[in-house]
């Protein structure tokens, strides 16, 4: 009788443990087997813009960056013909484009395959970061550096070197045959960025169902 009660107790305890484990696993993102078109992403609010200039993604069908709702963060999407290719070639591409190297000497903190980099490390000035230059007649010009492009000129002189250059895309996520690369915005950590990519992936998945 005692052995029966012990066995029953262990069964109940195991059931509780399994239930708790299943509950916690619901917080983990699991990719679907969906095969998407780029229009599935744009239908979910992602505003597709340009392609990559240097990086090449073998066996991919599309590789474009754009802006994702609700705050307009930049998210690149690489599309593959199949889920298997996304899980192999796409995974490798995502790891290469988000490769962060802890800087030891100098200010480079990114891998050799990273196309886009961002200036990080200014504590007092929000992006875009300002870089000064002297023109041919000796007048100071100030340019605003935003996403690797000189986009604006201002008359206020200010000089600042970039403390550290990091991968612009710091987190990746795979959903079906799509690979997402996400921009780390100011005052965010990597977990917040991962949550944002999950929300975008879920929204695209819902539109497919």
Instruction: List, for residues 147-170, the tens digit of each pLDDT value.
Output: 444 333 333 334 457 788 899 999
- 128, HSE (Cβ side, Cα atoms, 13 Å): 15
d(CA 38, CA 178): 9
d(CA 160, CA 172): 30
**SS3 at position 206:** helix
d(CA 119, CA 122): 8
pLDDT value of residue 187: 85
* CB 186 within 8 Å of CB 126: yes
Average pLDDT over residues 47-70: 95
pLDDT value of residue 201: 98
pLDDT (tens digit, 9 = 90+) per residue, 69-82? 999 999 999 999 99
pLDDT value of residue 28: 85
d(CA 207, CA 159): 47
pLDDT (tens digit, 9 = 90+) per residue, 91-147? 999 999 999 998 876 678 999 999 999 888 765 444 444 444 444 434 344 444 444
């Amino acid at each position: 009788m005692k052995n029966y009660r012990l066995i029953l107790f262990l069964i109940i305890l195991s059931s509780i443990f399994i239930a708790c484990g299943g509950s916690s696993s619901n917080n983990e993102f699991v990719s679907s087997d969906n095969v998407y078109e780029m229009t599935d992403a744009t239908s979910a609010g992602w505003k597709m813009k340009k392609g990559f200039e240097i990086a090449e993604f073998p066996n991919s069908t599309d590789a474009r960056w754009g802006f994702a709702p609700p705050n307009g963060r930049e998210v690149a999407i690489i599309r593959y013909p199949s889920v298997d290719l996304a899980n192999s070639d796409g995974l490798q591409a995502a790891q290469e484009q988000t490769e962060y190297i802890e800087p030891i000497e100098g200010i480079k903190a990114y891998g050799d395959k990273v196309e886009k980099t961002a200036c990080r490390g200014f504590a007092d000035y929000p992006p875009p970061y300002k870089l000064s230059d002297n023109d041919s007649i000796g007048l100071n010009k100030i340019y605003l550096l935003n996403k690797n492009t000189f986009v604006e000129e201002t008359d206020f002189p200010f000089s600042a070197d970039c403390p550290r250059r990091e991968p612009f895309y710091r987190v990746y996520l795979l959903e079906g045959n799509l690979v997402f690369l996400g921009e780390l915005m100011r005052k965010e950590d990597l977990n917040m960025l991962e949550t944002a990519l999950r929300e975008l992936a879920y929204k695209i998945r819902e539109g497919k169902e």
